[in-house]
Amino acid sequence: MLRLNKYLAHAGVGSRRHCDDLIVAGRIKIDGVIVRDLGVQVDQVTTKVFLDDSPVQVEKLVYWAVNKPRGYLCTNHDPAGRPLALHLVPHVDQRVYTVGRLDEDSEGLLLLTNDGDLAQQLMHPRYGVEKTYEVLVAGSPTPDELKQITTGVWLSDGRVKAKFVKRFKRQGESTWLKIVLAEGKNREVRRMLAKLRHKVMRLKRVAIGSVCLDRLPKGKSRKLAIAEIEGLRQSVRQRETKSATSNG
């Protein structure tokens, strides 16, 4: 037996929170009857679940790493018909979602999965899963500016900060930085550096937790190894344990 929102998440419908919204909205039926009770449990074998009168079936969970080139969008649909990250995995039969969005001008590591639970945990600030970026910025940030990135920069939606930052290479009049985040607000890296008057020329994500981009070519994908999947889950569990200990 599975709680209904978990069943829907495992079927690739979305995160548990999104599935809760679908249930409350009356878009889910069990054996032909609309259900709005969030506590309902279903039998994975015998129960017939429907979303908007379309049958929902639990799929095999899949996990893919993709090296997104610039110019691709991290959404499941674009009215303008621009290329999507999902177009890079036409061989994946399951309905997958991007984990850790990158804007159109950014590149690098994306995770694609139909595991709604893990996807939500990896992106939620509560779990603090680290994302590592290599960023080419105009000019040469001073030591004080680098320190400010880790102590906090005030933006319109609050104070943000990186967990780690360092210079690692010069390129003409520009500088490559390595930045590690554990929060993940929208366009956080670009906005922090813009506040410090250093325009981002290139931004590439090279790791999410223990999963690294390594030598995966642009536009290509690979399945995550079992050890990598377990590493992501372990990082989430460690944070949950730490949070429970501090609250107890």
Would you say 109 and 65 are in contact if contact means Cβ atoms under 8 Å apart?
Answer: yes
Total residue count of the chain as it appears in this document:
248
**Is the sign of the CA dihedral 99, 191, 182, 223 positive or negative?**
positive
Given 52, 103, 117, 214, the catalytic residue: 103
- List Cβ neighbours of 24 (8 Å cut-off, separation of 6 or more): 36, 38
Would you say 77 and 40 are in contact if contact means Cβ atoms under 8 Å apart?
Answer: no
In this structure, what token pair is assigned to residue 207?
């790791």
Q: Is 103 known to be catalytic? A: yes
Would you say 68 and 107 are in contact if contact means Cβ atoms under 8 Å apart?
Answer: yes
What 8-state DSSP symbol labels residue 183? S
- List Cβ neighbours of 22 (8 Å cut-off, separation of 6 or more): 8, 13, 14, 28, 51
Residue 105 CB-half CA count within 13 A: 10
The CB density around residue 216, as the number of other CB atoms within 10 Å, is 15
> Dihedral, CA atoms, 203, 204, 208, 214, nearest 10 degrees?
-160
The CB density around residue 30, as the number of other CB atoms within 10 Å, is 16
User: Which are the catalytic amino acids?
Assistant: 103
